[in-house]
Amino acid sequence: MDRFAPYVFLRGLASRWDVLAFIVVIGLIVFLGETSRGLFAPLSQLNLTPLSLDPIHLPEYAARTTFRMLAGLFLSLVFTLTYATWAAKSERAGKLLVPILDILQSVPILGFISVTVVFFMSLAPGRVLGAEFAAIFAIFTSQAWNMAFSFYQSLRTIPLELMEAAESFRLSPWMRFWQLEVPFGMPALIWNMMMSMSGGWFFVVASESISVGHTTVTLPGVGSYIALAIEQKNLHAIGWAIATMLIVILLYDQLLFRPLVAWVDRFRVEQEPGVRVPDSWALTMMRRSRLIQGATVAFHAAVMFTSRAVKRTDKPIEAAAPKRSLDLLWVSLIVAAVVLGLWHIVWVLIKNTPLQEALNVCGLAALTMLRVFILIALASLVWVPIGVWVGMRPRAAQIVQPVAQFMAAFPANLLFPIAVYGIVVWKLNPDIFLSPLMILGTQWYILFNVIAGASAIPAEMRYAAANFRVSGWLWWRKVALPAVLPFYVTGAITASGGSWNAAIVAELASWGDTQVRARGLGSYIADATIAGDFHRIVLGIGTMSLFVVIINRLFWRPLYYYAERKYRLT
Amino acid sequence: MNNSPLLQCNDVRKVFPKPDGAELLVLEGMNLELREGQIVGLLGRSGSGKSTLLRLIAGLSEPSAGHLRYLGKPISGPAPGIAMVFQSFALFPWLTVFENVALGLEAQRMPRADIRKRSLAAIDLIGLDGFESAYPRELSGGMRQRVGFARALVVHPNILLMDEPFSALDVLTAETLRTDFLDLWAEGRMPIKGVILVTHNIEEAVLMCDRILVFGSNPGRILSEIKVSLPQPRNRLDPSFRELVERIYVEMTTRPQSGTSARQERFPGLGIGSQLPHISSNLLAGLMEAVAAAPFNGKADLPEIASDLQMEIDELFPVAETLQLLRFAELEGGDLKLTEDGLAFAHAALDERKRIFLRHLLTYVPLAAHIRRVLDERASHSARKSRFIDELEDFMSEEAAEQSLRAIVSWGRYAEAFAYDDENAMFSLENPT
């Protein structure tokens, strides 16, 4: 608002923030141009310029991987703003859309890739674009569902008075969406975006080198670089790739998420004073630079302009009572679709699957489940005490918390070759020693949730415990563990879900031409994918989804509500 | 002055559907007229439907029956000439003060230059000059509500609706804001023609309004209309001011004549199906002690004890009424008078208090007696909570049943009439070991 800073144009031609911003913006443009150049090249191009393990190519590969990540993130955002809005606004649609989202969340993400890669390849036949679509879709599936969920939740919990204010000042629905609903949902949305980052990196790396049956696609990127390094047993190259990824994630964090988190702070509705405002140099740069200010002003103007263009139709806030007959029609439509779908699935699966096979798959799923639970328990034994210890010390928490979040974002599959190398060299039992890989990337959720929980213990409660000389095991039993339980459960749920996902990659790993295999549902799906056996892929993925849904409903969800009700400190 | 009313409500009725298909009547027989130059107060306790009526007028919901007319035209949806100030301010935290104020004009798609001019004028008028670029979180409660006022005034409404606008503020801030508002109103500097103020603060109503409509509950209806002809600015210590306050207290505590309403007020003629307020035994004991002590010595004037204890009617009335329900006090003519047992309770030690409370609880609260009887009769001496909830839901909503049971649990625990285990949702006669 120029009224409040009237002499802005007199203050020098450009601030140093402008210079910095200029470099960043031009860099981004060059980056986009470079990475998208190859998109429309024919697929054969990939074979003409084979991947090279020379580290000099790594910046380019990293850029391509990052570009896929950004594209996936963008698609997830578009999906979130439409799907979740639809589900929240229409009672009828929501009845179906919300459960669908819930199921989609439980489907292993690599499953999506193996099933859809052929479809995407056919979208742009003979072009690299199709394979890129498949890879980007994988990232999309690792982020979209929980982002959509969070936005849906936000839309349902907008304070009534804010809705009434928007209504009584006669905002059009379009304006209300951009001025009230999107800003309100923003903090939770950004947080979820960050949380699903880890999944995103994991799968962008995994999806760059896909082979389903006879279709083998290798897109230039860090993931395929690693794949090649494994094939050629090149430990040096793997080291380079890991270093590259560390840098990429660091940049991503500094340039994208930190500014977002700092920026989104103003959208929080609960306005408690004294909470430290997150801080980001990149955001400071963006705010101080007129170049970028101009861009945000343009965006704001676009929102305003479209707000003016879309007219308001007068309608009271209360929805008219839904018509019974329409409801009935809707429900019967859903039932019909479910029956049809079920029949189809049963038909396809039963026809092609002997009972023996089905039992076998269930047994394998039980094995994987056992692994996940044991690993979660082991990780908890390690990280809960450490998390509590760190959380009680604000100074330590400030250092450890970002490190843990960073570790969670690092695609653990990059480290698999090292583990496999070790197993091969020392001839270890893969059934046991491949398992830790499943939790390598997801254990951090337990740690940083417990840290958050422990630092949220009110000081007075700790003083009271100290005052009554509660210490040792009694202190853990009566003070620390109950206080962090709700946080721990949240972390454990995320870790468990991630571990199921990782099983597909972790239970079947290779080093050169040596394959190391652990018996379980993950290796079953991986085998089926390599063989291109569509029915076994579907059977495996279906079983895994079913297991995850059932475990969530019967174990994690009740535990979560119990912990929330009994142990949440408010 | 223009003769046609700004706003008319005729026989307005509002029911909310309950999940089980039944209907909950919240407003009945509402007749109201707002003329130019008037501030009309809607005074009542929470649950008396005054906020519901305000939302009907604001076009935020529709009446189930009856008519609402603004400038002679029926209200359907938010009317451009009616603006609202909210209890919790309802500011958009991601917009600056200026942007919050300008929002209503943006929605009207007014030319940008006009938006600026009018927003700045409203900001100046309400005393927010210099805060234009601040975010709501940087402001104190009082300043936030000023933004709420500026945002409402900027659209130049004919009618300003205020939903307990001062109740979320501390006493001092609220008084400043009230005075500022009344000054602006008296000087005619605000672009508004009439005001409707919802409040549960009797003094605030007498201080600000030209007419006060006193609301009763279950269902919400107008008990009486009181004209306030004291000249502005009014003085709280003025004897005629006090007299009016006293009169409204009497009005609000008088039991309705039997037969005036098909439904009954909350307590008299109590059966098992009456809704119980969740009032802790500490509050009950505290009020009894205060009334028993000097200077009241067993009988207290409600306005006096309210200001003595710094309680608003919304807090005081439910406690007083619960004492009446338990036959520890009588509420009549604006006075709260302790019964013999009430006095005995106030002077007794803890164990004796519990004995008195137990006797009254089981004698005068049928639900407590019922629960105790069930527990006594059963061999296991225990019963599920859901059993009683089901019984209560024949008479009231699910929410009200839950609340009544919470009240019974807390009183029963205090009186040691029975025990309750929340984890298993079980009533029992056992004492915890």
Please name every residue paired with B10 in a beta bridge, in sequence order, or none if there are none: B67
The domains located in chain B, with CATH, are: 7-253 (3.40.50.300), 281-428 (no CATH)
Tens digit of pLDDT at every position of chain A (570 positions): 333 333 343 344 455 566 666 666 666 666 655 565 565 566 666 655 667 777 788 888 888 888 888 888 899 999 999 999 988 888 777 777 887 787 777 777 777 776 677 777 777 666 677 778 888 888 888 888 888 888 998 888 888 889 999 988 888 888 888 888 998 888 888 888 887 777 778 777 777 877 666 667 788 888 888 888 888 888 888 888 888 888 888 888 888 877 887 777 777 766 444 445 556 666 666 666 665 666 667 777 777 777 666 666 655 445 445 556 777 777 777 778 777 777 776 676 666 667 788 888 899 999 999 999 999 999 999 999 999 999 888 888 888 877 887 787 788 777 888 888 888 888 888 888 888 888 888 888 889 889 888 888 888 888 888 888 888 888 888 888 988 998 899 889 888 888 888 888 888 887 777 888 888 998 898 888 877 777 788 788 888 888 888 888 889 888 988 888 888 776
Buried b (16+ CB within 10 A) or exposed e, A340-350: eeeeeeeeeee
Does residue A357 fall inside a structural domain? yes
Amino acid at A350: I
Give residue B264's pLDDT: 40
Note whether B90 contacts A308, CB cutoff 8 Å: no
How far apart are the C-alpha atoms of B238 and B254, rounded to whole Å?
25
How far apart are the C-alpha atoms of B325 and B357, rounded to whole Å?
12
How far apart are the C-alpha atoms of B250 and B242, rounded to whole Å?
12
- The tokens for A403 are 């490190």
How far apart are the C-alpha atoms of A551 and A538, rounded to whole Å?
20
- CATH code of A186's domain: 1.10.3720.10
Please name every residue paired with B383 in a beta bridge, in sequence order, or none if there are none: B427
Buried b (16+ CB within 10 A) or exposed e, A391-405: beeeeebeebbeebb
Q: Which of B58, B87, B92 sits opposite A162 (nearest CB)?
A: B92
Are residues A392 and A532 both part of a single domain?
yes
How far apart are the C-alpha atoms of B210 and B183, rounded to whole Å?
15
Q: Which of A168, A183, A312 sits opposite B94 (nearest CB)?
A: A183
Following DSSP, what letter does each residue of A288-340 receive, concatenated?
A: H-HHHHHHHHHHHHHHHHHHHHSPP----SSPPPPPHHHHHHHHHHHHHHHHH
**CB hemisphere CA count around A203 (13 angstroms):** 31
- The tokens for A30 are 């060059």
Give residue A418's pLDDT: 80
Are residues A238 and A89 both part of a single domain?
yes
A442 three-class SS:
coil
Are residues A370 and A282 both part of a single domain?
no
Tokens 């923003």, residue located: A186
- The tokens for B334 are 């604006």
Q: What is the ipTM of this complex?
A: 0.76
Q: Determine the distance in angstroms separating the CA of B244 from the nearest CA of chain A, rounded to an integer.
A: 33
Lowest mean pLDDT across A263-277, B180-194, B219-233: A263-277
Angle between helices A182-206 and A235-252 (to 10 degrees): 170
Are residues A198 and A52 both part of a single domain?
yes
pTM of the model as a whole: 0.78
Give residue B149's pLDDT: 92
Chain A residues lying within 8 Å of B106, measured CB to CB: 175, 304, 307-308
Note whether A164 contacts B106, CB cutoff 8 Å: no
Q: Which of B60, B107, B120 sits opposite A171 (nearest CB)?
A: B107
Are residues A303 and A334 both part of a single domain?
no
Note whether A170 contacts B137, CB cutoff 8 Å: no
Note whether B132 contacts A172, CB cutoff 8 Å: no
Strand-pair category, B82-85 with B159-163 = parallel
Give residue B358's pLDDT: 92
Give residue A6's pLDDT: 36
Are residues A157 and A297 both part of a single domain?
yes
Q: B420 φ, ψ to 5°?
A: -140, 130
Question: Total structural domains in chain A?
Answer: 2
What totals of helices (H) and strands (E) does chain B contain, helices first? 15, 16
Does residue A6 fall inside a structural domain? no
Using pLDDT thresholds of 50, 70 and 90, give the confidence band for residue B258: very low
Average pLDDT score over chain B: 85
Give every CB contact of residue A525 below 8 A, 6+ residues apart in sequence: A108, A110, A111, A114, A504, A536, A537, A540, A541, A544
Q: Which of B252, B317, B244, B241 is nearest to B283 (CA)?
A: B317
A458 three-class SS:
coil
Structural domain of residue A110, as residue ranges? 13-268+277-310
How far apart are the C-alpha atoms of A125 and B229, rounded to whole Å?
85
How far apart are the C-alpha atoms of B343 and B336, rounded to whole Å?
12
Following DSSP, what letter does each residue of B104-118 receive, concatenated?
A: HHHHTT--HHHHHHH
Does residue A1 fall inside a structural domain? no
A159, closest residue in chain B (CA to CA) = B90
Give residue A292's pLDDT: 60
Note whether A269 contacts B88, CB cutoff 8 Å: no
Q: Report how far apart, in Å, the C-alpha atoms of B365 and of each of A124, B6, B267, B356 are.
A: 77, 47, 10, 14
Give residue A293's pLDDT: 65
Note whether B93 contacts A267, CB cutoff 8 Å: yes
Are residues A548 and A426 both part of a single domain?
yes
Instruction: Indicate which of A8, A154, A169 best probes the interface with B, i.e. most B CBs within 10 Å of its own CB.
Output: A169
Give residue A324's pLDDT: 64
Contact B155/A at CB under 8 A:
yes
Report the 10 Å Cβ neighbour count for A288. Answer: 15
Note whether A167 contacts B17, CB cutoff 8 Å: no
C-beta of residue A294 within 8 angstroms of C-beta of residue A301 = no
Q: What are the helix (H) ranges across A459-520?
A: 459-467, 472-475, 481-506
Q: Report how far apart, in Å, the C-alpha atoms of A148 and of each of A102, A142, A200 are.
A: 10, 12, 15
Give residue A10's pLDDT: 38
Q: Determine the distance in angstroms separating the CA of A475 from the nearest CA of chain B, rounded to an integer.
A: 23
Are residues A39 and A153 both part of a single domain?
yes
Strand-pair category, B382-384 with B426-428 = antiparallel
Does residue A223 fall inside a structural domain? yes
Are residues A338 and A400 both part of a single domain?
yes
Note whether B98 contacts A1, CB cutoff 8 Å: yes
Are residues A287 and A330 both part of a single domain?
no
Q: What's the mean pLDDT in B74-91?
A: 88
Does residue A466 fall inside a structural domain? yes
Note whether A170 contacts B132, CB cutoff 8 Å: no
Chain B residues lying within 8 Å of A273, measured CB to CB: 137
- The tokens for B48 are 């008396």
Contact B252/A at CB under 8 A:
no
Are residues A258 and A343 both part of a single domain?
no
Are residues A505 and A543 both part of a single domain?
yes
Lowest mean pLDDT across A488-497, B265-274, B300-309: B265-274
Give residue B21's pLDDT: 67
Give residue A369's pLDDT: 93
Instruction: Indicate which of B51, B92, B153, B421 best probes the interface with A, i.e. most A CBs within 10 Å of its own CB.
Output: B92
Does residue A454 fall inside a structural domain? yes
Q: Which of B162, B238, B171, B170 is nearest to B199 (CA)?
A: B162
Does residue A399 fall inside a structural domain? yes
Give residue B117's pLDDT: 92
Q: Determine the distance in angstroms separating the CA of A161 from the nearest CA of chain B, rounded to an integer.
A: 6
Does residue A113 fall inside a structural domain? yes
Q: Report how far apart, in Å, the C-alpha atoms of B123 and of each of B14, B106, B117, B126 are.
A: 37, 16, 10, 5
Q: What's the mean pLDDT in B322-346?
A: 88
Using pLDDT thresholds of 50, 70 and 90, give the confidence band for residue B256: low
Give residue B356's pLDDT: 92
A341 three-class SS:
helix
- Interface A-B: count of C-beta contacts within 8 A: 95
What is the percentage of chain B residues whose pLDDT exceeds 70?
94
- The tokens for B157 are 């409404």
Residue A448 burial (C-beta neighbours within 10 Å; 0-12, 13-18, 19+): buried
C-beta of residue B258 within 8 angstroms of C-beta of residue B268 = no
